[in-house]
Amino acid sequence: MDGSTALRGMVDQNYRHNARHLTAELQWFRLVVETRYKLFHGQSCNFSDIAEIPIPSLNGHVSIYQQFLTKTEISWQERLVLILAIAPHIQPYILDDFLLTIDPKFVAERFMNRQAGLIPTVETALFLLAGDDLESRFLYEQIFDADALLIRENIVSLDYESHHSSRLNARLVINQDFLSLFTSGKNFKPDYSHLFPAKRITTVHEWEDLILEEQTANQIAEIKAWIEHGDTILYEWELIRKFAPGYKCLFYGSPGTGKTMTAALLGKLAGMDVYRIDLAMLVSKYIGETEKNLRLIFDTAHNKEWILFFDEAEALFGKRTEVKDAHDRFANQEISYLLHRIEEHPGIVILATNQRNQLDDAFTRRFQTIIQFSMPSKYERLKIWQNGFSKRCVLERAIELEQIAEKYELAGGSIMNVIRYASLMALEAGSNVVMLKDLMTGIQREYIKEGKYL
C-alpha cells in the first residue's frame, strides 16, 4: 500500500482528532519504555513481553493518523517505530525520560548523539522491540530494509552520520509531509533553508502571457500531454516495464526567455507545486556535501506531486572533468549520483541552463525533451510590448512600439523590466502616461546589464 496515496483526500480532518490519537499512542509508548526497562533489569513487571501490552484501538474519532494505520495495515512493531520517530517532534521530553531509565554508559554508546536530548536510532527501536534477544532483533531489523513499508514509502528514513556508519547507529527521521499530516492535518510545504535549498515558485500569468516561437510552444505541448496522459501510458497501457517513470526535460536559452515562467505555468496547469532548486546553496565547496544536499532534495520530493526545477544547471551538471585530484573524483561521483536519482525519480524534473554546450552528454541522453528558448523575434517582441502595459496607462504619442520592437533586441524578461520602470516613472510623476524618455532609459538600463550600449 502506498502510504502517501492513502493520505490523499484526508487533510480536511480535524487536527484535534490527530492530537487525541497521538496522545494515546504516546501513552502506549511510555508503557513500552517502562516495561522494557523492567524486563531488561529483571524487575517485577505486569508483562512478560512488550507484545502483551494492549495496543490503542483509536476508536471514537476519525483522524488522518488512524486512517493511515488502517489503510497501510501497518504491524504493531512498525507502529512502535513510527511513534518513536514522531515523538521528538511532538513531545521531545518523553525520550529524555527514556534516557534517564537506562544505564548511562549503555545509552552513551548506543543511543546518544551530539545534539541535546535523545534522538532515536535503529538501535533505539531494536532495543525497545527486542531487548537483547538476538533472534527477535534479527527479525525486527527487517523493518528497516529498503523494501519494507516505512522505508519504501519514505515514511521514515535513516540518517547516517557517514557512509561508513553502521545501520544500527542511523537516526530515525520522520518524513515532514507525514508529520505535518499526522499533526496539523495539512500537506507539508517545506520552507527555503540550508536543509531544503529550494523555493516554491508560482505565477499569476496565464499561457497567453507566454510569447514563444512556434517550435518551442509545440515542444512544451508535449510536456502538457504527458501531464494529462502519462499515468495512462504507464499503467493502463502497461508500459511501466518499458518506460522509466516520470518526465525529464532540459530548457536552454538566454536569461529572460521564459524558462522559469514556463516551469511555473506547467505546475499551475498540473496542479503541482514547483520547487526551484537554489544551486548556490546546493553546490558545496566541501567534498561530499553536494551529494548529501541532493539526497535531501530528492528524498523530500519522493512520492510528492512536485515539479523539480534545477535552474542554472551548468553550475552543478557541467561536463565531467579529468580526475586530477580528490575534488575531481568526488565531483564526478556527485554527477553520477545525480544521474541515478534523476533517472529513478517518478515525477517531472526540469533542468534549465543558459549554455547547453556545458552540459555532460550523459545528461542530455536522459531527457525526453530538449527545448531551446530563443531570443524573441521582432514579431514576438512586439507582442510582448503590446501585452505588457497595463490597460490603465496611456502611451505617449511619440512611442511607436513597432519600431522599438524591431530596433532593440531584448528578451521577454528584459522588456518587462523596461515596462515596470517606465510605469513607475509615470506614477512617480503623478500621471498614467508612459513617456518615451522613460522607456528609452529603461532600455538603456537593460543594455548596460548585458554589457551593451545603445
pLDDT tens-digit profile, the chain (454 residues): 455 544 444 444 467 788 888 899 999 999 998 898 888 888 898 999 999 999 988 876 788 888 888 888 899 999 999 999 998 888 877 777 665 555 544 443 444 444 445 678 898 899 999 988 999 999 999 999 989 999 988 889 888 865 556 888 888 988 887 888 888 777 667 766 666 778 889 998 999 989 999 999 999 999 999 999 988 888 888 888 888 778 999 999 988 899 999 999 999 999 999 999 877 667 665 556 777 778 878 887 877 788 999 888 777 665 555 545 445 555 566 667 777 788 888 889 998 988 777 676 766 777 889 999 999 999 999 999 999 999 999 999 999 999 999 999 999 999 999 999 999 999 999 999 999 999 999 999 999 988 877 6
Query: How many Cα neighbours within 13 Å face the side chain of 127?
Result: 24
Q: In whole angstroms, what is the distance from residue 206 CA to residue 261 CA?
A: 10
Q: In whole angstroms, what is the distance from residue 164 CA to residue 158 CA?
A: 13
Query: How many Cα neighbours within 13 Å face the side chain of 451?
Result: 0
pLDDT at 326: 47
DSSP 76-105: HHHHHHHHHHHHHHH-THHHHHHHHHS-HH
What is the CA angle 393-394-396, rounded to 5?
Answer: 140
Strands of 124-272, DSSP E = 156-159, 171-174, 198-201, 247-253
Polymer length of the chain: 454
β-pairing verdict for 273-277 and 171-174: unpaired
**CA dihedral sign, ordered 421, 425, 428, 434:** negative
Alpha helices in 41-195 (DSSP H): 64-72, 76-90, 93-101, 104-110, 122-130, 134-140, 149-152, 176-183
Asked whether the beta carbons of 355 and 252 are under 8 A apart, the reply is yes
Percent composition of the chain: helix, strand, coil (DSSP 3-state, to 5): 55, 10, 35
Asked whether the beta carbons of 56 and 28 are under 8 A apart, the reply is yes
* Residue the block writes with cell 524486563: 39
pLDDT at 342: 81
Return the closest-CA partner of residue 414 out of 444, 372, 369: 444
Q: In whole angstroms, what is the distance from residue 172 CA to residue 284 CA?
A: 25
Q: In whole angstroms, what is the distance from residue 292 CA to residue 6 CA?
A: 29
pLDDT at 316: 66
Query: How many Cα neighbours within 13 Å face the side chain of 79?
Result: 25
Asked whether the beta carbons of 348 and 170 are under 8 A apart, the reply is no
**DSSP-based three-state secondary structure for 191:** coil
**DSSP-based three-state secondary structure for 190:** coil
pLDDT at 391: 92
Q: In whole angstroms, what is the distance from residue 186 CA to residue 178 CA?
A: 9
